[in-house]
């Protein structure tokens, strides 16, 4: 196996004295993990930072073997995160979720578009909205996406206000008002592709995605929910 791709570094673990086990979220091959030999020299340290955009050359003599990687820095995008605690927390949550949830070498073409937007818009005032889109569509990529097209109780497509924690389906105001304390807020800004949500809308979205990730992925697979993600809303002061 041999290929070249572009992506973002989501994990880097030291291996031996001068090498790394590197994990990169790539455009065409999804999450890939491989061995980078003799890369930990002083001039290269800045390359292998979480969030940096890199070009990857990957090679494996046998498909079942771990990949051998070579990384070339395309953009030092990590610097956009490290000076701001809230952005650094979002990056940590992003990397933890990708490492925990995504299988090796499984294409994520639609999700990658939202990943790319998150990184490219990180210096914009509304950067957190792009992180929200990533988490929402991560659910979809994992096969546990929400059905927000019509009310689960009545079938109407009008006045959708809530999401059921049991079914992951939308609920209209008339059917859900009595139970509203037990329901999630309908993520209208996601459905309408609005990238300027209110603070409350962001908070509600992150509460909901955390719940469904916990319930339908981490608990189902017997995995521990990443602490970096568990701390995110507190770190964002939401």
Please check whether residue 150 is in contact with residue 180, taking contact to mean a CB–CB distance below 8 angstroms.
no
**pLDDT score, position 234:** 96
Contact 165, 186 (CB under 8 A): no
Quote the pLDDT of residue 44: 80
Domain limits, CATH 2.40.50.140, in the chain: 1-77
Q: Which residues does 168 contact at the CB level (< 8 Å), separation at least 6? A: 144, 145, 146, 147, 212, 216
The pLDDT value recorded for residue 59 is 93
Q: What is the pTM of this model?
A: 0.94
DSSP state of 55: E
Q: What are 35-47's pLDDT values in tens digits?
A: 999 888 877 878 9
Cα angle, residue 13 at apex, residues 139 and 113 outer, rounded to 5°: 30
Residue 223: what pLDDT? Answer: 96
Indicate the CATH number for domain 1-77. Answer: 2.40.50.140
Segments of the chain with pLDDT less than 70: 63-64
């Amino acid at each position: 196996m041999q290929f070249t791709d572009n992506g973002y570094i989501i994990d880097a673990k030291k291996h031996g004295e001068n090498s790394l086990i590197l994990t990169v979220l790539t455009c065409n091959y999804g999450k890939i993990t491989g061995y980078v030999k003799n890369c930990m020299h002083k001039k290269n340290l800045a390359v292998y930072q979480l969030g940096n955009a890199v070009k990857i050359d990957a090679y494996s003599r046998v498909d079942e073997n771990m990949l051998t990687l070579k990384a070339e820095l395309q953009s030092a995008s990590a610097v956009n995160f490290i000076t701001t605690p809230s952005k650094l927390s979002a990056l940590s949550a992003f990397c933890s979720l990708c490492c925990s949830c995504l299988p090796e070498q499984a294409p994520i073409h639609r999700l990658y578009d939202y990943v790319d937007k998150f990184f490219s818009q990180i210096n914009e005032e509304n950067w957190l909205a792009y992180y929200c889109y990533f988490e929402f569509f991560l659910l979809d990529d994992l096969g546990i996406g929400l059905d927000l097209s019509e009310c689960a109780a009545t079938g109407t497509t009008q006045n959708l206000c809530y999401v059921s924690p049991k079914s992951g389906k939308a609920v209209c105001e008339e059917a859900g008002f009595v139970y509203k304390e037990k329901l999630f807020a309908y993520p209208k800004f996601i459905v309408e592709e609005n990238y300027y949500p209110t603070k409350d809308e962001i908070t509600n979205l992150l509460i909901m995605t955390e719940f469904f990730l916990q319930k339908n992925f981490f608990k189902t697979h017997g995995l521990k929910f990443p602490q970096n993600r568990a701390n995110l809303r507190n770190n964002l002061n939401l």
